Amino acid sequence: MALKHFSVVLLLSALGVDAAVFTFENRCAMTIWPGIQPSAGRPLLMNGGLELQPLETTNVTAPIGWSGRFWGRSGCTFNNHGEGTCETGDCGNGLYCNGAGGQPPASLAEFTLDSPLDFYDVSLVDGYNLPLSVFPYDDSRVCPSIRCDTDLNLHCPSNLQVKGNHGETVACKSGCTAFQSPEYCCTGHFQDPNICKPTKYSEYFKHGCPTAYSYAFDDGSSTFTCREANYMIIFC
């Protein structure tokens, strides 16, 4: 895995391409289907989606200045034409999301590259479906990792649970996604960090994944920066 990653970095360097390499690794016991959504005006990568079998890794390269988000989809069924749906994180476009985002609840890895630093985070603001961690590869070896490898579906509060086809909990909504009210979404009168505070629901996410965003104004302990790095994104 490390050799494959290193070879891609050398190739990009030889070609003179300014890019970041994202290495996806699936440590789940099941196949997942990562989704990719670029920010407005940024290029689409991998047509917005791919399949990743257990223990499989793959590399995705992003050009200088790219920004967007990655997430894992689970319980997907696609035909030979890529048509189908997923139990969690579904983007409504089949295998290839083609710029569409995932339906909450879904764990998100968000990046803004070269601005002038790289900014990155793992967000559970819209809820959680799969463990998702980010590990930078940087020359200085000082850029912080974000570990969210706890299965938050196990003890998800009953009024936040999303059930799968077999009755199991496959995702955990955020308070905002579940109740759509200003005090949970930090909207309206609550669109102020001095007013919108953590709730018992966001605290559940924060306890399980302390370095991930748990609600809209959770910036202080959940946004990280790096410079000229590549990144490993691990599911489960």
Full pLDDT tens readout for the chain, 236 residues? 343 443 444 343 333 346 899 999 999 999 999 999 999 999 999 999 999 999 999 999 999 999 999 999 999 999 999 999 999 999 999 999 999 999 999 999 999 999 999 999 999 999 999 999 999 998 777 899 999 999 999 999 999 999 998 889 999 999 999 999 999 999 999 999 999 999 999 999 999 999 999 999 987 779 999 998 999 999 99
Nearest to 31 by CA among 61, 67, 56, 7: 56
Tokens of 160: 């936040």
Query: For 231, phi and psi rounded to 5 degrees?
Result: -135, 140
The three-class DSSP label of residue 146 is strand
Tokens of 118: 């790289």
Q: Are 203 and 214 in contact (CB under 8 A)?
A: yes
Instruction: Give 180's contacts (C-beta < 8 A, 6+ positions apart).
Output: none
Tell me how far CA of residue 56 lies from CA of 18, 23, 84, 94, 154, in angstroms: 26, 10, 22, 21, 25
Element holding 22 (H helix, E strand): strand 19-26
Considering the four listed CATH numbers 3.90.550.10, 3.40.50.1110, 2.60.110.10, 3.20.20.80, the one that applies to the domain covering 2-235 is: 2.60.110.10
Per domain, the residue ranges of the chain are: 2-235
Looking at residue 154, what DSSP letter applies?
A: T
Q: How much is the pTM?
A: 0.90
The three-class DSSP label of residue 35 is strand
Q: Are 71 and 35 in contact (CB under 8 A)?
A: yes
